[in-house]
Structure 1
Amino acid sequence: MYVLLIIIAAIAVILGVPDIRRSLISRPAFGFFKRVLPPLSATERDAMEAGDVWWDAELFSGKPDWYRLLRTPKPQFSEREQAFIDNQLETLLAMIDDFDITMHQRDLPESVWQYLRQEGFFSMIIGQQYGGLEFSPAANSHIVARIATRSLSVAVSVMVPNSLGPGELLSHYGTEQQKQYWLPKLANGEALPCFALTGPEAGSDAGSIPDHGVVCHGEFKGEQVLGIRLNWNKRYITLAPVADVLGLAFKLNDPEQLLGKGEDIGITCALIPTSHPGVETGDRHFPLGQAFMNGTTYGKDVFIPIDWIIGGQEYAGKGWRMLVECLSAGRGISLPALATASGHVAERMTGAYAYVRQQFGLPIGKFEGVQEAMGRIGGLNYSVESMRRLTVAALNQGQSPSVITAMTKYHMTEMGRTIGNDALDVHAGKGIQMGPRNYLASNYMGVPISITVEGANILTRNLMIFGQGATRCHPYVMKEMIAASNPDEEAGLREFDSLLIKHIGFAAGNTLASLWHGLTGARFANTPVSGVTAGYYQQLSRMSRGLALCADVSMLTLGGDLKRKEMISARLGDALSHLYMASAVLKRYEDDGRHESDLPFVHYAMQHHLHQLGVAFDGFYQNFPQRIIAGLLRFVSFPFGIRYKAPLDMHKQAIAESMMQPGATRERHTFLCYWQADADDMIGHMELAFTQMHALQDVYKVLRKAQKQGVIGADLNGEGLAQAALQAELIDAEQAQALSACETLRMRAIGVDSFAFDEVKQGQFKPLD
């Protein structure tokens, strides 16, 4: 007993007396921390410090405040935004013929280009004082997504000027003179912008761009001025072939130190009219059959005045920081909007097709193999839309959560890929034959584009999400890194000492809480709601503790090696991401009013994300190099094993049935889809058949029974089916007329486009009816 009291007293003295604590604990820990501190390049530090932290930091804390999440206002549109959506957007959608754009013109029609310019579609992020629309991230996301349900080529053409590019860079960093000159031109469509970052040897690692400029004096408009002599070679630049102004990222050197910033100034961004002498617009690319403008630009010994640097001389060398800060917001809007559009189209149309297309006398959506794919489509689409809403909700509040937008871009485009694959599997031949009635193929082929641009997904998952999240979201690590890099070592030690005590308490609390939740199944964890979803909040709180514990131990034991252990860090990033996605699902369910009809989708999504959390943690434990530590971590968080299971079949089947039913749930889950009530419309031909078949479902039940009994032929369809049923007195004349019209729609809906042999050979695609 006395020995125990002595030990407790000794620990209290060591921890409680600052000088003793610093001497025995903090100073050795400080030295160790400096040794294992991951070395950061200047570009890595800029990326690390860019943007904000938001709900991701709550999840990393081990004890997320669910009430704070549920209080977050859901995205809503202003009256001005809603009017634009109801009028200009609808007008644009009616003008779009995607098959003509992609297969015939390989470009947007001039009428569409002109409408986009005159109505301000390229100026959604530009302030009203400069003539722009100045729409919220929520409106921007909605508009791009809805256009993408009609045409990916048009959506990308609208998306790019409203994402990372001259408009955004000027709005945030431009001089007032630059803003006054360029932003009105960009807003009214007089100048179409592009931004050139990627080159032959610099893709996702933009910090390695070889394009360079040298500060020097040169002639401009007949006068000798201070400027930059530039050389660049860029590719994959969207809108480059038609751009009037080029945003350019390059490395700037000042060998004569004319700017007084040293010789190696760093990445810089400038704005250059494409008509400027020496600027060359090269060949056009053809990205996976899409018709949006994408191509090359290059220049050799091009001289520009120094005040063409975005932000002026002051921002020379700050280009990388500018880019990552802008990207941290834009990455959460544009590409996620495209993924969401694909999900909405896939859910709505796969449900319709699975009902309209019949096999063995039943809709194919009644077969369990098809229902499994439909369950994934509906369940993942619920997650995708939930994630889009929560992310734009953060952006609407002025947040710029760089880790969250990286997660959003990666996981939404990957889930979009899975949804697209399943939709094609269900549609089979209907999905692979190109033509005006194929509503899946264009977006399906565009999936790799979204996955590749704005940071390739492999890089985003393996390096960015956890690599940035571990330091930005952790309550102490970033501050400890700053303390450790303090040139005044004693001042750094004092700051580190204060943080270390808090960090020790944080780690101890997460360890004990993780073990408690593991032993009790998190049954005593706090939850902000009651009912069927309460247990999900408790499990997410438990996993939040587990993530915080594993992250702390990984950084402590692996140090700088963690950056190179990409598979380990990627799994921790997956855990953080699935915590965020599951949070978004629960938030959406509450925001939408807790509809009972949504529960199959919620259950599927939550079970999927919890199961993937288990997969991520299991992979982490199996591959963590310190095997004893890995075993201890597994025991603390999962003393009875990892028991999260994949979504149940019953939920997949319930989702499949819901997808085949018209009504409020279907409209709520697929509201982004645009279609016209026209049998020749890309989506309308299937939608009309679907609704008409439901209107006549009682008639079809009678006919199926009669066919099984041999009263009428089992191979009849169209007018023949209607006449046979009328003659057999199964239906009356009015029903026969309605059935004949419905059968015409049904056969058109399950049909595919075909073309004259010689016309296809000549590159002409005029569908045969």
Structure 2
Amino acid sequence: MDFTISEELQMMVQTVKDFVDNEVDPISQQIDEEDRVPEEIIQKARELGLFGLSIPEEYGGVGSIGMLGKCIIYEQLGRTANGFTTLIGAHTGIGTTGIVELGTEEQKRRYLPDLASGKKLAAFALTEPEAGSDAASIRTTAVKKGDRYILNGVKHFITNGPDADVFTIIAVTDKSKGAKGGITAFIVEKNFPGFKVGTIEKKMGLRGSHTSEIILEDCEVPEENVLGNVGEGYINALKILAKGRVGLAARCVGSMQKLLELSTRYAQQRVQFGKPISSFQAIQHMLAEMAVDIEATRWFAYRVAWLVDQGAKVIKEAAAVKLFASEAYGRVVDKAVQIFGGMGYMKEFPIERYYRDARITRIYEGTSEIQKNIIASQILKELG
């Protein structure tokens, strides 16, 4: 394995880090309180090419940085308000990956340039009220009528839902076939007849990233907007989610690294019993355990990203790294709260925000329990 990156990419990573540390992070509390990322920050993200991380250069994107390059950049994005990070990550991950990898040439030329520039925002809609972890049980239907498909159903907990312009929506095209041949992916625009945004959710964390229902009532989708082959939507959704999980792990690394830095500085400044708490073995052990979780997650994420770039099948590995990273993030942020003590529980310090933001990582893009199911099923196939 080789994790060496080009000098050009190193420069981009440093630029993103500077942007995050100097422009986004100073207003992270404002983003949380207002549940809004200021337009000037979004515009700067556009100018830096952050909306085009997954998109080839020929369509206006950053180009060939690969999954490893994306993960190294995601790590820097994870160093600040997770709501901002999620807005970008959902767009560049599960929002646009499907169009890049499965889209026809016409679809790519129609959608990718505006998505790469950030002029338009992307989202991925699989989850439904009755189909979360059991994704194969989705009820949204797509019935072909002439040169169009008519979609009916409700999606919920859709990241970027209220703000996105282009959606990858998964629907049932042949109920009798189920997940094996009966589910199809579609590219759906927010202005298609019959499409509307439903309830906008009020969340514990990830403020600045908006989540909502998507309601499809006789939504008309042109036949040419089928994404991939008819009937292959479920397996394609799993492939899209697998890569999204690798990126999510890298974002967790960035957040954990920031928490370690904040905790270390606080431990050196906070005095109890006449000396800095960093001199106490209990605090030192917490810092050491945080550092080990970070290093293990970082290199795990890089390895799986490298495998993706080699064209390897990573269903098991992506599930494993998402599981490990989200659980490690929970351990690290819990230790950070403990090191900060009462101050870690106060909204004036960023630790409280990270604590709220971290919890969702064990739920979205597949719960920890679902990741274990995936890992176990792959082990049984390989070794059984």
Q: CA deviation at 1:89?
A: 4.9
Match of residue 295 from structure 1: 212
Match of residue 282 from structure 1: 198
What SS is found at the alignment partner of 2:112? helix
Match of residue 249 from structure 1: 170
What SS is found at the alignment partner of 1:302? strand
2:159 to 221, 227, 238: 238
1:186 to 109, 115, 119: 115
Match of residue 161 from structure 1: 91
Q: CA deviation at 1:301?
A: 1.3
For residues 506-547 of structure 1, give each alpha carbon's deviation from its aligned partner in whole angstroms, at most 9, with x where no partner exists. xxxxxxxxxxxxxxxxxxxxxxxxxxxxxxxxxxxxxxxxxx
CA 1:168–1:423: 2 relative to 1, 3 Å: same
Match of residue 689 from structure 1: none
Moved more, 408-417 or 349-358: 349-358
- In the alignment, is residue 446 of structure 1 matched against residue 357 of structure 2? yes
1:150 to 72, 80, 84: 80
Q: CA deviation at 1:115?
A: 2.1
1:402 to 315, 335, 338: 315
Match of residue 36 from structure 2: 107
Match of residue 170 from structure 1: 99
Instruction: Return 5+ residue gaps in structure 2 as ranges.
Output: none
What SS is found at the alignment partner of 1:269? strand
1:98 to 15, 20, 28: 28
2:15 to 87, 90, 96: 87
Match of residue 374 from structure 2: 464
For residues 433-457 of structure 1, give each alpha carbon's deviation from its aligned partner in whole angstroms, at most 9, with x where no partner exists. 112xx23222211112111011111
> Equivalents in 1 of 2:314, 2:54: separation in Å?
18
Match of residue 562 from structure 1: none
Q: CA deviation at 1:387?
A: 1.7
CA 1:421–1:88: 2 relative to 1, 3 Å: closer
* TM-score normalised by structure 2 residue count: 0.93
Instruction: Return 5+ residue gaps in structure 1 as ranges.
Output: 1-71, 218-225, 256-260, 475-554, 556-769
Match of residue 286 from structure 2: 373
> Equivalents in 1 of 2:284, 2:16: separation in Å?
38
Q: CA deviation at 1:296?
A: 1.3
CA 1:410–1:129: 2 relative to 1, 3 Å: same
CA 1:397–1:254: 2 relative to 1, 3 Å: closer
Q: CA deviation at 1:389?
A: 2.6
Aligned letter for 1:468?
Q
1:308-387 mapped onto 2 (5 Å cutoff)? 308-311=225-228, 315-333=229-247, 335-387=248-300
Q: CA deviation at 1:309?
A: 0.6
Moved beyond 4 Å, runs of 4+: none
> Equivalents in 1 of 2:46, 2:160: separation in Å?
14
Preserved CA contact (<8 Å) 1:93 1:147: no
Q: CA deviation at 1:388?
A: 2.3
Preserved CA contact (<8 Å) 1:268 1:319: yes
Aligned letter for 1:375?
A
Match of residue 272 from structure 1: 188
Percent identical pairs in the alignment equals 25
Aligned letter for 1:469?
I
CA 1:196–1:374: 2 relative to 1, 3 Å: same
Aligned letter for 2:53?
M
- In the alignment, is residue 228 of structure 1 matched against residue 149 of structure 2? yes
* TM-score normalised by structure 1 residue count: 0.47
Preserved CA contact (<8 Å) 2:16 2:76: no
Q: CA deviation at 1:378?
A: 2.5
Aligned letter for 2:224?
D
Preserved CA contact (<8 Å) 1:241 1:284: yes
> Equivalents in 2 of 1:399, 1:330: separation in Å?
15
> Equivalents in 1 of 2:181, 2:376: separation in Å?
29
Q: CA deviation at 1:171?
A: 1.4
CA 1:144–1:88: 2 relative to 1, 3 Å: closer
1:612-761 mapped onto 2 (5 Å cutoff)? none
What SS is found at the alignment partner of 1:234? strand
> Equivalents in 2 of 1:146, 1:328: separation in Å?
21
> Equivalents in 2 of 1:414, 1:212: separation in Å?
35
Preserved CA contact (<8 Å) 1:161 1:194: yes
> Equivalents in 1 of 2:278, 2:148: separation in Å?
66
How many correspondences in the alignment? 379
Q: CA deviation at 1:88?
A: 5.1
For residues 306-351 of structure 1, give each alpha carbon's deviation from its aligned partner in whole angstroms, at most 9, with x where no partner exists. 111113xxx1111011111222223112x21232123212322222
> Equivalents in 2 of 1:235, 1:307: separation in Å?
25
Q: CA deviation at 1:86?
A: 2.9
Aligned letter for 1:244?
D
> Equivalents in 2 of 1:441, 1:404: separation in Å?
31
1:472-511 mapped onto 2 (5 Å cutoff)? 473-474=382-383
RMSD value over aligned CA atoms? Answer: 2.1
Preserved CA contact (<8 Å) 2:20 2:80: no
